[in-house]
Amino acid sequence: MTAYEIPDDARFSCVLCSESCRRWHVFLTPDEQQRLMSHDWAADSPRLAGVRLFDEVPSPAGRGQRAVRLAKLGDACVFLEPDNLCLIHKVQGLAAKPGPCQQYPFHLATTPDGVVVSLDFACTAVLADTGAPLREQMADVEAAYAAEQRRGTLLAALGLPRRGIPAEGLQLQRRQPLHWRNYRTLEGALLGALRQPGPTLEQRLLALDRLLREAGERYGAALAEPSDALAAWAAELAGQGYAPLLAEPPASLSPMRQRAVLAPFLGGLEEQWGTWGTKGGGLLARLSLAIIIANGLGPLPLSSLEATVDQGQMNRTCFPQDDPALSHLMTRYLKGLLQRKSLIDGTDVYQGFRYLLLSFAAARWYAVASAALADRPAADLDDLRRGIRVVEKGLGHAIGLRTGATQRVVRFLFGRVASPAVVIHNFYVG
């Protein structure tokens, strides 16, 4: 029997907003292609007569492979009906939908302790923290996991992303092995420090960085085996409210260096939104956009927001990071990233933490861009929700963000251009 690990505070109930059916790339396995393509969908919905229902595009795996995904009408899935309901679901039932549609908004990570279940923050209900507790929806969780399992082997063959955490081979940093038990100890400490009610969000994120660095320095090679000493240290920190890790942000931080580190990540996200799978995409388009972002001046076209933002206006816009509502939402999002095991998603923990910080800084950046586009002096909660949604959907398609080449760029930028403290710092103060 499968053991599921579900956060106590995870909740979700579909509000039929159709947001999950818009601006997603839903790739099909060969079995799904054959089943869906063999049906006369125009007979069920006359609006689809003569409409292309499927797109064949270059596979993310490269090597000349092709992949098939559901087509779109405007920004919506071609199967989304005017009443905001899925035609496939209406006609053939939930089990007939493509795997990603059956799974959404669940993230499922297979670990040595069982299947960890978390939620996607592009979902309207998840962003608003509304709905029934996930623990009361086990039938849906089990159906989503079954769909994930059915697709797994085929996804690997197509070179498409597959969630799942290996039981062996974890590393705290490159060439520093990390036992799974020790990872869980560190994850618990990271979540505990992040949830502390007193310090600012910036102080808490700096504490997470310090926690990981000190763990590596204190215990070194001993982390390859279960460490009672690490567990005792983590318990001691928790008893002290993680105060030994807290510090004020360093002085003389550079916004240009922050943009330089963030720019390639933003360029990769924009590529997923606007040009991925078309002739206009690729490394050159991503680099061109990154250069404009790093410069921080002039107009910047954003496919994600379907607008051109004035970066000068962004520099004059405030992001009230310590506003209780904004800080609470950002903390929930970061906690969700940790719970879905993003720190060990195909990389070492240090590198996974860098990606977490990039996701945090990108959500803030997009929130500021959203406010600037509306000519408001400060970002509000809706702007941050929009920013998080952009990042989450981009990560869902982020074939190129964790390749070996991209990871080398990320390591270089954090090692030579800007520290985590620079990426964490909020320069958008109006």
Residue located via tokens 């590393």:
171
Range ranked top by mean pLDDT from 146-155, 338-347, 382-391: 382-391
Token pair listed for 361: 């800084």
**Strand boundaries in 207-303, DSSP class E:** 299-302
| Percent of the chain residues past pLDDT 70, beyond the cut | 90
Quick check: 44 and 58 in contact, CB under 8 A?
no
Strands 72-73 and 66-70: unpaired
SS3 track for 305-374: CCEEEEHHHHHCCECCCCCHHHHHHHHHHHHHHHHCCHHHCCCCHHHHHHHHHHHHHHHHHHHHHHHHHC
Question: For residues 16, 4, 342 and 27, what is the CA-based torsion angle, rounded to 10 degrees?
Answer: -50
Return the domain boundaries, the chain.
4-158, 171-245, 255-424
pLDDT surpassing 80 at residue 141: yes
Is pTM beyond 0.85? Reply is yes
* Paired residues of 171 in beta bridges: 177
**CA–CA dist 282, 268 (Å, integer):** 9
Quick check: 399 and 238 in contact, CB under 8 A?
no
200-232 pLDDT per residue, tens: 999 999 999 999 999 999 999 999 999 999 999
Q: Three-state DSSP class for 276?
A: coil
Q: In this structure, how many other beta carbons lie within 10 angstroms of the beta carbon of residue 4?
A: 16
Q: Crossing angle for the helix pair 349-373 and 381-396, nearest 10 degrees?
A: 130
pLDDT surpassing 50 at residue 277: no
Range ranked top by mean pLDDT from 24-38, 147-161, 178-192: 178-192
> Nearest-CA neighbor of 272 among 358, 394, 128?
394
Q: Kindly indicate the confidence band of residue 29, based on its pLDDT and cuts at 50, 70 and 90.
A: confident
Residue located via tokens 């945090």:
360
41-70 pLDDT per residue, tens: 999 999 999 999 999 887 666 666 788 999
> Nearest-CA neighbor of 402 among 361, 343, 360, 362?
343
* Paired residues of 70 in beta bridges: 54
305-339 pLDDT per residue, tens: 989 999 999 999 999 999 999 999 999 999 999 99
> Nearest-CA neighbor of 369 among 301, 311, 295, 298?
311
Quick check: 113 and 130 in contact, CB under 8 A?
no
Strands 171-173 and 54-58: unpaired
Mean pLDDT, the chain, whole residue set = 90
| Residue 89 burial class via C-beta count within 10 angstroms: exposed 0-12, middle 13-18, buried 19 and up | middle
228-247 pLDDT per residue, tens: 999 999 999 999 999 999 98
Q: What is the pLDDT of residue 63?
A: 63
Q: What is the pLDDT of residue 280?
A: 46
Q: In this structure, how many other beta carbons lie within 10 angstroms of the beta carbon of residue 23?
A: 23
Q: Kindly indicate the confidence band of residue 425, based on its pLDDT and cuts at 50, 70 and 90.
A: very high
Token pair listed for 105: 């908004």
Q: DSSP alpha helices (H): ranges in 82-179?
A: 87-92, 99-103, 124-128, 138-158
State the DSSP H helix or E strand holding residue 30, giving kind and residue range, or none if neither: helix 30-37
* Paired residues of 328 in beta bridges: none
Longest dimension (CA), the chain: 67
